[in-house]
Amino acid sequence: MAIDINALPDSSVGFKTHWGIDEYLFTAQGNDLNHGRKADKITADGFGLRVKNSLAGQMEGNAKLKGVAAMRKGKMGAIIGQRFGRTSPVNFWYAVEGLAQLAPITMQPSTISDFSLMAKTKDAVEYDLEMDARGDFSDGVILLSPKNLLAGATGAGPDDDNSTFGGSSTAGAYFQVHLWALTGGTAPTVVFKLQGSPDGTTWTDLTGGAFASMAAIGSQRLSIPSTTPIPAHVRAFYTVAGAPTEVQALLGGGRRPDLDA
């Protein structure tokens, strides 16, 4: 297909952005998001070369957010404060084009390194939040949207078809699930897993692609090793037990880039 060189680029507006950590959604408590990515530059110049030669080294990710601070118990400020300086990472994510299925999402296990408050007499109390990557940050799509409550004992999300964007890949993948509601029924549980297909018709479970069973709200991150092939088609599958009346989750995932390419 020919490329239309006069076509306008795809774009989105900032108010569509959502973000959160672990089992919490902080969409309305932020008005400025900056996610920076950086790789160390390694100088690899050699004798006889007239052009400098640089290699990419270790990568780092840094997320900065600003907004109105809600500090009461159970609100954003208190939740962030409980996780500040913690040794275990939080599961941070953001989506700049809304929460529809197959919309883009970025995920980053993070350490909260800065949380500052600013109170002004004639203005709202504001905050600055900074989170540094504790592991690989990853781009992907929303495979299960919280806009659609999970229905039935089993079900699957939409097909993330990568056929026209390189097809199958060989370097593994990353996934995060954020369970926001699991209510009603008798001792309800939900299990999430990932499935792959070469053609979008015949589906099998991805090797290493199952999350641990969840009996309460929470979050998990899943890393499928870089030696694992990922088929061209990927989807999320869930199994619910205990007949809960409300199950709401966000599950996102993306292919691991082949850094040796």
Q: Which amino acid is at 27?
A: T
pLDDT at 4 over 80: no
Read off the pLDDT of each residue in 132-136 and give the average, rounded to a whole number: 90
- In order of their start, the domains of the chain are 16-42+53-139 (2.40.30), 142-255 (2.60.120)
Write out pLDDT tens, residues 81-112. 999 988 899 999 999 999 999 999 999 999 99
pLDDT of the residue at 1? 54
131's tokens? 């989170």
- The model's pLDDT over 166-216, given as tens digits with 9 standing for 90+, comes to 999 999 999 999 999 999 999 999 999 999 999 999 999 999 999 999 999
pTM of the predicted protein model: 0.92
The rounded distance, in Å, linking the Cα atoms of 183 and 14 is 32
What are the Cα distances from residue 114, in Å, to 104, 107, 117? 26, 19, 10
Residue 120 has pLDDT above 80, yes or no: yes
The per-residue pLDDT for 14 is: 84
